[in-house]
């Protein structure tokens, strides 16, 4: 969450030190920092058109007379973080062609770290046709060598499907070309990005580009839809308007904490499409406490009624459901599981929906995890099975769990890629589990098991094959809100990766 100047200024002379300092001040005075915004990022055109005699980038002395380090210090002094821009090519993207980072990765990363940079947007212009993975990994490695934690934004516009390879390269990757301040551009980008939900998660996010909210090309209703869609897609929220000129209505949209909470939910799941027909779309996003964020989105040129059901959006059966409209702030109860609203043209209604009674924290003591209800499940082949192997695609078709001939009575039978989440509520301390490929897998299957406490990885099996015995994992769950059990393919191209979470047990207060 933060700000980037490009959408409002491009390379015009109004982009300068005074503007950036003004934005940092407004983050504090207008409550943006308290709402969660923290990065103040500057885009292209901050540098001189040539490097100095030592090959270093030089800040434009007219735009930034006190230099970049002084600007970063100013931002840091306000409890914020500072971001910078360059390109993974010989020159940046602006037509003036400022020096890019290609073949200067170590030198530039060291310079950025010395200036106190916390975020690097790494663009894709003038790349000389070189392989994207190689170019972006070079900057990743250079940043790591500096020892400074810097968010790396892979901005190669989705051209090389970064969602398939950039998970260990950057923290976010652009999934589309540049957004513009029009309804058609925003809608097109949203549709492209929402198809990639399976690739997003804590520490590796789909990025459908920066926000246009407040720049004047759309109506207030369309801007609320824009903000709603980005939030249900767990997208980065980078403000793209000059906040010094923003209206009260723009600030109201950007600081809606209920909608921001959906975007920033610690489970980190991107919402998915439940239904889409005739310009009426329903999206659902699982939340850490077991609720669902449900968006009713109207692409048409007139008001329409849009409805769905609690069961369709992934909520469990219950006697009733609470609906909290995150824009109007109205609350209601559905006794029949129907979730609906009259939605204005180009509008979006977003509800936070919870089942009666909510999701209880695990019982005190040590429990078999397979006896508890997960809050969300995704699996690569059929359903995740309880106390049996994965089997085939039908429910309840697994066999008794067996890893290298050792049988297990309790557990979860999954298939890569898979993710199962549980609500912890901060009450649990420890998990133990034996992990391995079930004996029903083909002989060259391979997977990796990982356990996450919210965003933090707390156990990792490394690569396991069907020839490996079960490996015991122990994970510290102290203070965690969400437990995430993740299985990923081992990369051998096989699809028969039947993965067992065997004898999983958690200890809670």
Active-site amino acid positions: 123, 178
User: Can you spell out the DSSP letters for 105-139?
Assistant: HHHHHHHHHHHT--EEEEE-TT-TT--HHHHHHHH
Distances, alpha carbon 468 to alpha carbons 172, 431, 442, 443, 465, in Å: 34, 22, 13, 11, 5
CB 94 within 8 A of CB 11: yes
Residue among 256, 203, 202, 195 at smallest CA distance from 231: 256
CB 314 within 8 A of CB 284: yes
Pairing of strands 39-41, 2-4: parallel
User: Can you spell out the DSSP letters for 260-289?
Assistant: HHHHT-TT-PPPEEEEEETTEEEEEEE-TT
Tokens in use for 384? Answer: 């995740």
Q: What's the rounded Cα separation, in Å, for the pair 4 and 16?
A: 12
Please, what sign has the CA dihedral across residues 209, 215, 217, 219?
positive
CB 507 within 8 A of CB 476: no
Tokens in use for 329? Answer: 């702030």
Q: What's the rounded Cα separation, in Å, for the pair 130 and 360?
A: 52
Q: Which residues contact 125 (CB under 8 A, 6 or more apart)?
A: 87, 89, 91, 92, 93, 100
Q: Which residues contact 15 (CB under 8 A, 6 or more apart)?
A: 5, 9, 42, 43, 45, 46, 63
Tokens in use for 53? Answer: 């005699």
């Amino acid at each position: 969450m933060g700000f980037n100047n490009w959408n409002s200024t491009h390379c015009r002379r109004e982009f300068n030190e005074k503007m950036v300092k003004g934005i940092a001040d407004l983050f504090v005075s207008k409550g943006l920092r308290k709402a969660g915004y923290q990065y103040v990022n500057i885009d292209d055109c901050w540098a001189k058109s040539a490097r100095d005699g030592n090959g270093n980038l030089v800040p434009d002395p007219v735009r930034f007379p006190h230099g970049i380090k002084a600007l970063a210090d100013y931002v840091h002094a306000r409890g914020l973080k500072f971001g910078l821009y360059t390109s993974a090519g010989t020159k940046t993207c602006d037509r003036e062609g400022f020096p890019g980072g290609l073949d200067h990765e170590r030198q530039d990363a060291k310079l950025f770290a010395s200036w106190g940079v916390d975020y690097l947007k790494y663009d894709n212009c003038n790349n000389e046709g070189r392989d994207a993975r190689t170019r972006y990994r070079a900057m990743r490695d250079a940043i790591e060598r500096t020892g400074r934690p810097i968010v790396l934004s892979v901005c190669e516009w989705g051209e090389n499907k970064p969602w398939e390879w950039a998970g260990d390269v950057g923290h976010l990757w652009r999934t589309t070309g540049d957004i513009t301040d029009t309804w058609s551009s925003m809608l097109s980008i949203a549709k492209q990005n929402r198809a990639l939900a399976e690739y997003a998660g804590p520490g590796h996010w789909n990025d459908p580009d920066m926000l246009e909210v407040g720049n004047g090309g759309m109506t207030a209703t369309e801007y609320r839809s824009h903000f709603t869609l980005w939030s249900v897609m767990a997208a980065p929220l980078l403000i793209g308007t000059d906040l010094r000129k923003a209206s009260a209505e723009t600030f109201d949209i950007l600081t809606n904490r209920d909608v921001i909470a959906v975007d920033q939910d610690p489970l980190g799941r991107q919402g998915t499409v439940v239904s889409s027909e005739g310009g009426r779309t329903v999206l659902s996003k699982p939340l850490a406490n077991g609720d669902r964020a449900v968006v009713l989105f109207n692409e048409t040129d007139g008001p329409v009624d849009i409805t769905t059901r609690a069961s369709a959006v992934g909520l469990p059966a219950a006697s009733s459901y609470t609906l909290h409209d995150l824009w109007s702030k109205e609350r209601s109860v559905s006794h029949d599981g129907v979730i609906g609203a009259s939605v204005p043209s180009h509008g979006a209604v977003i509800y936070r929906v919870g089942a009666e009674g909510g999701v209880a924290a695990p019982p005190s003591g040590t429990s078999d995890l397979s006896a508890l209800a997960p809050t969300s499940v995704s699996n690569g082949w059929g359903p995740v099975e309880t106390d049996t192997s994965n089997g085939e695609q039908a429910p309840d078709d697994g066999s008794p769990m067996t890893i290298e001939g050792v049988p297990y009575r309790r557990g979860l039978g999954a298939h890569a890629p898979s993710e199962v989440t549980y609500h912890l509520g901060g009450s649990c301390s420890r998990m133990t589990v034996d992990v391995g490929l079930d004996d029903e897998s083909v002989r060259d299957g391979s997977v990796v098991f990982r356990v996450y406490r919210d965003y933090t990885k707390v156990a990792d099996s490394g690569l396991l094959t069907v020839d490996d015995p079960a490996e015991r994992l122990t994970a510290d769950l102290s203070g965690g809100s969400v437990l995430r059990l993740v299985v990923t393919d081992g990369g051998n191209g096989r699809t028969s990766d039947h993965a067992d979470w065997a004898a999983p047990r958690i200890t809670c207060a």
